[in-house]
Amino acid sequence: MSNSKILANGVDVYYGSKQALFGISMDIKEKEVTALIGPSGCGKSTFLRCINRMNDLIEICKVSGSIKVDNEEIISEKTDVVSLRSKIGMVFQKPNPFPKSIFDNVAYGPTIHGLVDSKNELEEIVHSSLKKAGLFNEVKDRLNEPGTSLSGGQQQRLCIARAIAVNPEIILMDEPCSALDPIATAIIEELIDELRLNYTIVIVTHSMQQAARVSQKTSFFHLGELIETGDTKKIFTNPDNSKTQDYITGRFG
């Protein structure tokens, strides 16, 4: 049994006066892929964005409850959001490379966090991150071209490389394949499987097949509540809750 990496306890989220999450408690294990599934608007992305305090960007969003990352409380005024986010990388629904060169996209994180002392070191980090994201061979001859010139799937892998360049421990993925074609999706899924060895991954997905393929643990959200969480195999073959059963068999959602 591996260790707890993220421990959520009674997390409530409000958008203005509308409550979006109701007392979510969840235990996310180290170096596993945890998939969050559920119908649209069920709060799975909201929960994901609590983990790296991304909801701070939304003025009307209020988060309460407790989330501990490595036993440290992060839902608190005192939390150092910058170092938290450098520890927790994030990949978004739509690939969002910066309007810079491929190299600078990956170099951005290490530079602002002062992780490198020399140009050579930076180059090394950029190259190794691109390699880990499985993109290096495709772009090694054109690192100076703009990141936006890549295809959608390549852009998404560039964003993954950008996230792992700051050496995070956790990677959050918010529907990373929803804007990609099946081939690019397959490549990313393969990549997720490799990244699992070194990173704790939480992935929000609309595709139940994807959840079944890439994750070890699955959590089912419905109307802002966590209905069921457990081993992926169990959730997909023999769920305890009838709502989960209905959802995975396609009866609603």
Partner 1 sequence: MFFWSLVLIAVGIFSSFIYGRSRIKLNSKKQGTKSKSLPNYYAQYVLMWCLFPALIVYFSWAIFQEQIIQNIVISNFEFIEGAAYNEGLLLAEIRNVANNPSFADGKSVEIINAASQYSSLRQISQIAFYLSIIIIMLLGALYASRKLKPEFHAQHAIERYIQYILIFCSSVAIFTTIGIVFSLIFESLRFFAEVSIFEFLFSTEWYPFIPIREGQTAAEGSFGAVPIFAGTFLVMVVAMCVAAPLGLLTAIYLAEYASQRVRKIVKPLLEILAGIPTIVYGFFAFVSVAPFVKAFGQSIGIDASPTSALAAGMVMGVMIIPFISSLSDDVINSVPQSLREGSFGIGANKAETIKKVILPAALPGIVGAFLLAISRAIGETMIVVVAAGTAPNLTGNPFENVTTVTVQIVVALIGDQEFDNPRTLSAFALGLVLFVITLFLNIIALQIVKRYRERYE
Q: Is 17 in the site for partner 1 (CB under 8 A)?
A: no
Q: How far is the CB of 2 from partner 1 (least distance, A)?
A: 25
Q: How far is the CB of 135 from partner 1 (least distance, A)?
A: 16
Based on CB atoms, which residue is closest to partner 1, 1 or 57? 57
Among 122, 166, 177, 211, binds partner 1 (CB under 8 A): 166
Measured between alpha carbons, how far is 238 from 233 in angstroms, rounded to an integer?
Answer: 8
Helical spans, DSSP H, in the chain: 44-51, 81-87, 102-112, 119-132, 136-139, 152-164, 182-195, 208-214, 232-237, 242-248
Measured between alpha carbons, how far is 203 from 171 in angstroms, rounded to an integer?
Answer: 8
CA-based nearest residue to 173, from 69, 76, 52: 52
Q: Is 27 exposed, middle or buried (0-12, 13-18, 19+ CB in 10 A)?
A: middle
State both tokens at 95: 């690939």
Write the binding mask 38 to 57 for partner 1: x where contact by CB under 8 A, - elsewhere: --------------x-x--x
Among 159, 170, 192, 226, binds partner 1 (CB under 8 A): 159
CA dihedral sign, ordered 118, 123, 126, 132 = negative
Write the binding mask 87 to 116 for partner 1: x where contact by CB under 8 A, - elsewhere: x-xx-x-x-xxxxx-------xx--xx---
Q: Is 29 in the site for partner 1 (CB under 8 A)?
A: no
CA-based nearest residue to 74, from 2, 6, 164, 172: 6
Based on CB atoms, which residue is closest to partner 1, 35 or 173? 173
Based on CB atoms, which residue is closest to partner 1, 166 or 180? 166
> Could you tell me the strand order of the sheet in which 225-231 lies?
88-91, 170-174, 200-204, 33-37, 217-222, 225-231
Q: Is 194 in the site for partner 1 (CB under 8 A)?
A: no
Q: How many CB atoms lie within 10 A of CB 42?
A: 23
Q: Is 178 in the site for partner 1 (CB under 8 A)?
A: no
Based on CB atoms, which residue is closest to partner 1, 11 or 48? 48
Based on CB atoms, which residue is closest to partner 1, 99 or 182? 99
Q: Is 15 in the site for partner 1 (CB under 8 A)?
A: no
CA-based nearest residue to 37, from 214, 240, 238: 214
Write the binding mask 64 to 83 for partner 1: x where contact by CB under 8 A, - elsewhere: -----------------xxx
Residue type for position 248: I
Q: Is 62 in the site for partner 1 (CB under 8 A)?
A: no
Based on CB atoms, which residue is closest to partner 1, 75 or 223? 75
Based on CB atoms, which residue is closest to partner 1, 97 or 239? 97
Query: Which residues contribute to the site for partner 1 (CB under 8 A)?
Result: 52, 54, 57, 59, 81-87, 89-90, 92, 94, 96-100, 108-109, 112-113, 159, 162-163, 166
